Structure 1
C-alpha cells in the first residue's frame, strides 16, 4: 500500500517517490571537486588554469575527489535504484557521512593556514544546510526506504 503523506505528483509513473530537486543540488555540492574536474577537462586549453584557480594545492584537489564519490555513485544509480535496493538504501548514509567529512574539511583547511574567504564561509554554511536536509527531509528519507511489495 502506498503512503498518503506525499502529494500524488511526488510519485513517478512506477509508483516510486520522486527524488526531490534539492537532492540534485546537494549532490552537486558534494561533488563540487568532480564538477571542477569535468569543467577543466572540457575547457581543454584553460583547464590547468582553472584547476590552479580553485585548487592551488594539488593535493587538496585529489583528496577533494574522495568525498564526492558517493554523490557520483548516487548520480549514476538514481535512475536504477530499484535494481540495487540495498546499495541504494546504504547510499543515503554514505551521503550523510560524506557531508560530515566535507563539513569538517573547510575548517580544517582554515586551521592549516588557508585564508578565510567568502567562498569558504559560503561552502561551510551550504554544507551545514545540506547535512540538516539530508538528515531530516521526509520525502528524501522515503526515497531511500525499500519498497514493500
Structure 2
C-alpha cells in the first residue's frame, strides 16, 4: 500500500490528524433527528409544533433517532478518540452503515406513501454525497485507522 502524506496543518499539537470541518457536517446530517429533538426541547412552547412539522408520524421520529446514535457517539468521543482506539475505529464503520440506512430511509418513506418534497430530495442528495465522502476520503480513513496500522 502506498504511503499517504498529509499537510502539516492537518495535524494537531499532539500529532493526531484533525477532524475536518466537513466531518462535523456529516455528523450533523446523520444526527438530524437528534438535532431536531434538541431544538424542540429547547423551544418549549413550539417544540410540539416543530416535531409535527417534520415528523407528522411520531413512529418515524422515534425510528429516526436510531441511525443518529453513531453520530452522537462520534460527537461525544471525538475529543478522547486516542483513549479508545478500537471503539473509534469501529465507529468509523458504524457511521458508514448509518449513512447507508439514512440513504435508504427517505426513498422507503416515499415508497409507503409519504409525499415527495424538495427537502426530502435535498436530504437524499446530501446523504449520497456524505456516503461517497465517508467511503473515499483518505484522510478520514486515516483518522479512523487503528494506531498500529
Unaligned runs of 5+ in 1: none
| 4+ runs deviating over 4 angstroms | none
Unaligned runs of 5+ in 2: none
Specify whether residues 115 and 4 from structure 1 end up closer, same or farther in structure 2 by C-alpha distance, changes over 3 A only. Answer: closer
Report the secondary structure of 1:99's partner residue.
helix
Task: Give the match for residue 107 of structure 1.
Answer: 107
CA shift, 1:148, in A, is: 3.8
1:15-26 to structure 2, matched below 5 A, reads 15-26=15-26
TM-score, length-scaled by structure 2: 0.96
Q: Deviations over 1:94-125 (max 9, x none)?
A: 00000000000100000000000000000000
Q: How many residues align?
A: 147
CA shift, 1:4, in A, is: 6.5
TM-score, length-scaled by structure 1: 0.96
User: What is the alpha-carbon root mean square deviation over aligned residues?
Assistant: 1.2
Q: Deviations over 1:12-39 (max 9, x none)?
A: 0000000111000000000000000000
Task: Give the match for residue 129 of structure 1.
Answer: 129
Q: Deviations over 1:52-89 (max 9, x none)?
A: 01100000000000000000000000000001000000
